[in-house]
Amino acid sequence: MPEGHSVHRIALQFRRNFVGQRVAASSPQGRFTAGAKLIDGRRMTDARAVGKQMFLEFENGLWLRVHLGIYGAWDFAGEITVDDTIRSAGGRMGQTNQHGTLLDSRGEDSLASMGAPRRARLRMSESEKEDDSTFVFPTEPVGAVRVRLLTDTAVADLRGPTACEVIDEARAAEIIGGLGPDPLVDDGPEVEDAVARTITSKQTPIGQLLMDQSVVSGIGNVYRAELLYRARLNPHTPGKKVPFDTARALWRDWSHLLDVGVRTGQMMTMDDLTPEQWAQAMAGREDRHWVYKREGLPCRVCGTHIVMEMMASRKLYWCPKCQA
């Protein structure tokens, strides 16, 4: 499932290539024809991500809300921006510089690897993959395309979302207001304290709280497992028993990992790597994480076998010794 960093990168693609442009909206699949008509021919005025949800605003005051869910993806084609640094195996895109350039408050201008628009095709979901085969613009819709957004120079096709609806500004504000803080939207010590207060006021295990989008936005299965390992927290610890400073540190670490994810396009959760180790991690997920998808393998620190169990119907990965 795409996590917060992916949705922020998709919103960036829209801001760079669609905002300010008049958009032809359609539903090739036919399941969203009525919704598409509401925004067809309107100019896109904003694109923003909050956690795992994205909101595209149009000049008539309506918003297209999209939640990709498990299977959703956006396909872009035309004169679009593509991460041009280093492509790892399988077409995923990342950059070799671990530190990169810091994000601004909207996460826009620091993606130095995103060059000037060029003719390309790009699929964006949990990972990103460029298709460098020849094509005629606009490309023909392929498969079950729920929504097609088309300008004179770019097209975006949405497939398989969990949620796709046109809403008004009041409803958009209501939905966003029900989401927990997102480090690229909400920042400052007061947000850090608010997140810590929420976590430490609940009896729910911390492993579930981090996945609760009303507590913190954008964290999914990968980041949940890695954040808990980095904090050496047992995922079954009730929120009330998590020290306040530890809860505050979780928010700061989430801000850090989200920053890295938006800059690189990868859920990189290991720090202090050599350039060679960094390049290797960019090339394969097995070298990118501490515990995620490593069940049965020895912990990188203590050697204990990593455990996989189900928590609230989702797979949880952790080290029984480091996180005891």
Structure tokens at 251: 């928010």
CATH number at residue 216: 1.10.8.50
Within a domain: residue 201?
yes
The number of helix segments (H) and strand segments (E) in the chain equals: 8, 14
> Is there a single domain that holds both residue 38 and residue 73?
yes
Closest-CA residue to 80 (of 135, 17, 23): 17
Per-residue pLDDT of the chain (324 residues; tens, 9 = 90+): 678 899 999 999 999 999 999 999 999 999 999 999 999 999 999 999 999 999 999 999 999 999 999 889 999 999 887 764 323 322 222 222 323 333 333 333 334 445 567 788 887 877 778 887 788 899 999 899 999 999 999 999 999 999 999 999 999 999 999 999 999 999 889 999 999 999 999 999 999 999 999 999 999 999 999 999 999 999 999 999 999 999 999 999 999 999 999 988 889 999 888 999 888 888 888 889 999 999 999 999 999 999 999 999 999 999 999 999
Question: 74 with 126, same domain?
Answer: yes
The answer to whether the beta carbons of residues 232 and 206 sit under 8 Å apart is no
Q: At 259, which amino acid appears?
A: D
Report yes or no on 136 lying in a domain: yes
Reported as a single tens digit per residue, the pLDDT across 91-147 is 222 222 323 333 333 333 334 445 567 788 887 877 778 887 788 899 999 899 999
Q: Give the Cβ contact number of residue 171 at 10 Å.
A: 14
Q: Is 93 inside any structural domain? A: no
- Name the residue range of residue 13's domain: 4-81+116-177
Q: Of 153, 177, 201, which residue is a domain's last?
A: 177
Q: Which of the listed residues 177, 207, 227 is the one where a domain comes to its end?
A: 177
The predicted structure's pLDDT at residue 87: 36
For residue 181, cis peptide bond before it (omega within 30 degrees of 0): no
- For residues 122 and 130, the answer to whether their CB atoms sit within 8 Å is yes
Same-domain check for residues 243 and 285: yes
Burial of 19 (0-12, 13-18, 19+ CB in 10 A): middle
Going by their DSSP bridges, the two strands 73-80 and 53-58 should be labelled as unpaired
Among residues 177, 201, 218, which one ends one of the domains? 177
Question: Does residue 124 sit in the same domain as residue 251?
Answer: no
CA distance 63 to 119: 28
Residue 37 located in a structural domain:
yes
Does residue 101 fall inside a structural domain? no
Angle (CA) 151-106-102 rounded to 5° is 120
Choose among 199, 206, 200, 204: nearest CA to 180.
199
Domain presence at residue 151: yes
166, 193: one domain: no
Q: DSSP 3-state helix, strand, coil percentages of the chain (rounded to 5)?
A: 30, 25, 45
Instruction: Indicate which CATH number applies to the domain containing 62.
Output: 3.20.190.10
Token couple for 314? 């989702």
In this structure, are 171 and 194 located in the same domain?
no
Peptide bond into 183 cis (omega under 30): no
- Residues 254 and 231 placed together within one structural domain of the fold: yes
Whether 69 and 14 share a structural domain? yes
Note whether residue 90 is domain-resident.
Answer: no
| Whole-number pLDDT of residue 82 | 76
Same domain, 281 and 149: no
DSSP state letters, 15-60: HHHTTTSEEEEE-TTSTTHHHHHHHTTEEEEEEEEETTEEEEEETT
Domain count, the chain: 2
Say what the pLDDT of residue 13 is.
92
Same domain assignment for residues 15 and 159: yes
Identity of residue 321: K
What is the per-residue pLDDT across 271-285, written as a single tens digit (0 to 9) for each? 888 999 888 888 888
C-alpha span between 42 and 19 (Å, rounded): 11
Say what angle helices 4-17 and 244-264 make with each other, to 10 degrees. Answer: 40
pLDDT of residue 95: 26
Residue 118, pLDDT score: 79
Is 289 inside any structural domain?
yes
User: pTM of the entire structure?
Assistant: 0.85
Kindly list the catalytic residues. Answer: 2-3, 52, 314
In terms of phi and psi (left: phi > 0; alpha: psi -120 to 50; beta: otherwise), the region of 248 is alpha
**Statement to judge: residues 143 and 218 lie in one domain:** no
